[in-house]
Protein backbone atom coordinates (compact mmCIF):
# COMPACT_ATOMS: atom_id res chain seq x y z
CA UNK A 1 0.00 0.00 0.00
CA UNK A 2 2.92 2.34 0.66
CA UNK A 3 4.17 1.87 -2.90
CA UNK A 4 0.72 2.78 -4.19
CA UNK A 5 0.76 5.98 -2.15
CA UNK A 6 4.17 6.93 -3.52
CA UNK A 7 2.97 6.35 -7.08
CA UNK A 8 -0.48 7.94 -6.73
CA UNK A 9 0.35 11.05 -8.79
CA UNK A 10 1.89 8.92 -11.52
CA UNK A 11 -1.22 6.72 -11.58
CA UNK A 12 -3.50 9.76 -11.85
CA UNK A 13 -1.36 11.20 -14.67
CA UNK A 14 -1.34 7.85 -16.49
CA UNK A 15 -5.13 7.50 -16.23
CA UNK A 16 -5.69 11.09 -17.41
CA UNK A 17 -3.34 10.77 -20.39
CA UNK A 18 -4.77 7.32 -21.18
CA UNK A 19 -8.31 8.73 -21.25
CA UNK A 20 -7.16 11.58 -23.48
CA UNK A 21 -5.57 9.16 -25.95
CA UNK A 22 -8.53 6.75 -25.84
CA UNK A 23 -11.17 9.44 -26.40
CA UNK A 24 -9.25 11.16 -29.18
CA UNK A 25 -8.28 7.82 -30.70
CA UNK A 26 -11.97 7.01 -30.93
CA UNK A 27 -12.72 10.37 -32.55
CA UNK A 28 -9.83 9.99 -35.00
CA UNK A 29 -10.92 6.49 -36.01
CA UNK A 30 -14.57 7.50 -36.49
CA UNK A 31 -13.73 10.59 -38.53
CA UNK A 32 -10.77 9.02 -40.34
CA UNK A 33 -12.71 6.02 -41.64
CA UNK A 34 -15.91 7.90 -42.36
CA UNK A 35 -16.74 8.19 -46.03
CA UNK A 36 -19.05 11.03 -47.05
CA UNK A 37 -22.41 9.61 -48.08
CA UNK A 38 -23.97 12.73 -49.60
CA UNK A 39 -26.60 13.03 -46.86
CA UNK A 40 -24.44 14.34 -44.01
CA UNK A 41 -21.52 16.76 -44.11
CA UNK A 42 -19.57 15.06 -41.31
CA UNK A 43 -19.70 11.87 -39.25
CA UNK A 44 -22.06 11.89 -36.30
CA UNK A 45 -20.39 11.81 -32.89
CA UNK A 46 -22.41 11.34 -29.72
CA UNK A 47 -22.62 14.19 -27.23
CA UNK A 48 -20.73 12.36 -24.49
CA UNK A 49 -17.74 11.75 -26.75
CA UNK A 50 -17.69 15.37 -27.93
CA UNK A 51 -17.95 16.68 -24.36
CA UNK A 52 -15.26 14.33 -23.04
CA UNK A 53 -12.93 15.22 -25.91
CA UNK A 54 -13.45 18.94 -25.36
CA UNK A 55 -12.96 18.80 -21.60
CA UNK A 56 -9.86 16.62 -21.81
CA UNK A 57 -8.31 18.77 -24.54
CA UNK A 58 -8.95 22.04 -22.73
CA UNK A 59 -7.65 20.60 -19.48
CA UNK A 60 -4.48 19.19 -21.00
CA UNK A 61 -3.64 22.29 -23.02
CA UNK A 62 -4.20 24.54 -19.99
CA UNK A 63 -2.20 22.26 -17.73
CA UNK A 64 0.80 22.08 -20.04
CA UNK A 65 0.78 25.79 -20.88
CA UNK A 66 0.56 26.84 -17.24
CA UNK A 67 3.26 24.34 -16.21
CA UNK A 68 5.60 25.77 -18.84
CA UNK A 69 4.81 29.33 -17.80
CA UNK A 70 5.30 28.66 -14.09
CA UNK A 71 8.54 26.78 -14.74
CA UNK A 72 9.92 29.63 -16.83
CA UNK A 73 8.99 32.09 -14.07
CA UNK A 74 10.72 29.87 -11.47
CA UNK A 75 13.88 29.68 -13.56
CA UNK A 76 13.93 33.42 -14.12
CA UNK A 77 13.40 34.08 -10.43
CA UNK A 78 16.11 31.59 -9.42
CA UNK A 79 18.66 33.02 -11.85
CA UNK A 80 18.10 36.69 -11.25
CA UNK A 81 15.85 39.32 -9.83
CA UNK A 82 12.76 37.85 -11.48
CA UNK A 83 12.68 40.58 -14.13
CA UNK A 84 11.44 39.43 -17.52
CA UNK A 85 14.69 40.29 -19.28
CA UNK A 86 16.75 38.04 -17.02
CA UNK A 87 18.55 35.62 -19.37
CA UNK A 88 18.12 31.88 -18.95
CA UNK A 89 18.64 28.84 -21.09
CA UNK A 90 15.93 26.51 -22.41
CA UNK A 91 17.84 23.63 -20.83
CA UNK A 92 17.25 25.14 -17.40
CA UNK A 93 13.52 25.13 -18.04
CA UNK A 94 13.34 21.57 -19.38
CA UNK A 95 15.51 20.30 -16.52
CA UNK A 96 12.91 21.57 -14.02
CA UNK A 97 9.90 20.02 -15.75
CA UNK A 98 8.60 16.86 -14.13
CA UNK A 99 8.38 13.65 -16.11
CA UNK A 100 4.59 13.87 -15.91
CA UNK A 101 4.57 17.32 -17.53
CA UNK A 102 6.98 16.21 -20.26
CA UNK A 103 4.76 13.18 -20.93
CA UNK A 104 1.67 15.42 -21.04
CA UNK A 105 3.31 17.79 -23.51
CA UNK A 106 4.45 14.94 -25.76
CA UNK A 107 1.02 13.24 -25.69
CA UNK A 108 -0.81 16.52 -26.35
CA UNK A 109 1.43 17.40 -29.30
CA UNK A 110 1.38 13.89 -30.78
CA UNK A 111 -2.40 13.51 -30.65
CA UNK A 112 -2.85 17.12 -31.69
CA UNK A 113 -0.64 16.68 -34.75
CA UNK A 114 -2.63 13.59 -35.76
CA UNK A 115 -5.83 15.62 -35.40
CA UNK A 116 -4.33 18.50 -37.41
CA UNK A 117 -3.24 16.16 -40.21
CA UNK A 118 -6.68 14.52 -40.31
CA UNK A 119 -8.35 17.94 -40.40
CA UNK A 120 -6.11 19.05 -43.28
CA UNK A 121 -6.72 15.79 -45.17
CA UNK A 122 -10.49 15.56 -44.63
CA UNK A 123 -11.33 19.26 -44.79
CA UNK A 124 -15.07 19.80 -44.71
CA UNK A 125 -15.64 16.05 -44.33
CA UNK A 126 -14.41 16.26 -40.73
CA UNK A 127 -16.24 17.52 -37.66
CA UNK A 128 -16.20 20.89 -35.92
CA UNK A 129 -14.59 19.10 -32.97
CA UNK A 130 -11.61 18.12 -35.13
CA UNK A 131 -11.31 21.67 -36.46
CA UNK A 132 -11.54 23.20 -32.98
CA UNK A 133 -8.79 20.98 -31.60
CA UNK A 134 -6.60 21.55 -34.65
CA UNK A 135 -6.90 25.33 -34.29
CA UNK A 136 -6.37 25.07 -30.54
CA UNK A 137 -3.20 23.06 -31.12
CA UNK A 138 -1.93 25.65 -33.58
CA UNK A 139 -2.52 28.37 -30.99
CA UNK A 140 -0.74 26.34 -28.33
CA UNK A 141 2.20 25.69 -30.68
CA UNK A 142 2.45 29.39 -31.52
CA UNK A 143 2.60 30.21 -27.81
CA UNK A 144 5.18 27.51 -27.19
CA UNK A 145 7.23 28.66 -30.18
CA UNK A 146 7.15 32.19 -28.79
CA UNK A 147 8.65 30.90 -25.56
CA UNK A 148 11.28 28.90 -27.44
CA UNK A 149 12.36 31.87 -29.53
CA UNK A 150 12.24 34.20 -26.53
CA UNK A 151 14.53 31.93 -24.49
CA UNK A 152 16.85 31.55 -27.45
CA UNK A 153 17.15 35.34 -27.76
CA UNK A 154 17.63 35.81 -24.02
CA UNK A 155 20.27 33.07 -23.83
CA UNK A 156 22.48 34.61 -26.53
- Indicate the domain borders of the chain: 2-32+43-155
Nearest residue to 58 via CA among 24, 9, 31: 24
pLDDT for residue 6:
83
Nearest residue to 89 via CA among 153, 142, 146: 153
pLDDT for residue 3:
82
Nearest residue to 13 via CA among 96, 137, 97, 112: 97
pLDDT for residue 94:
83
pLDDT for residue 80:
67
Contact 122, 140 (CB under 8 A): no
Regions of the chain short of the pLDDT cut 50: none
- Which residues contact residue 52 at a Cβ distance below 8 angstroms, ignoring those fewer than 6 apart? 19, 23
pLDDT for residue 132:
92
pLDDT for residue 23:
97
Question: What is the rounded distance in angstroms from the CA atom of residue 117 to the CA atom of residue 74?
Answer: 35
pLDDT for residue 153:
55
* pTM score: 0.84
Nearest residue to 102 via CA among 56, 134, 67: 67
pLDDT for residue 130:
93
**What DSSP state is assigned to residue 85?**
T
Amino acid sequence: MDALRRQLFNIIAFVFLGLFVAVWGSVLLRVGFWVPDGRTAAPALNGALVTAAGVLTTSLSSLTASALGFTIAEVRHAEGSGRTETPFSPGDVTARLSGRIVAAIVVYMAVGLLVLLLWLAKGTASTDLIGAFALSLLGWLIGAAGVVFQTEKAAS
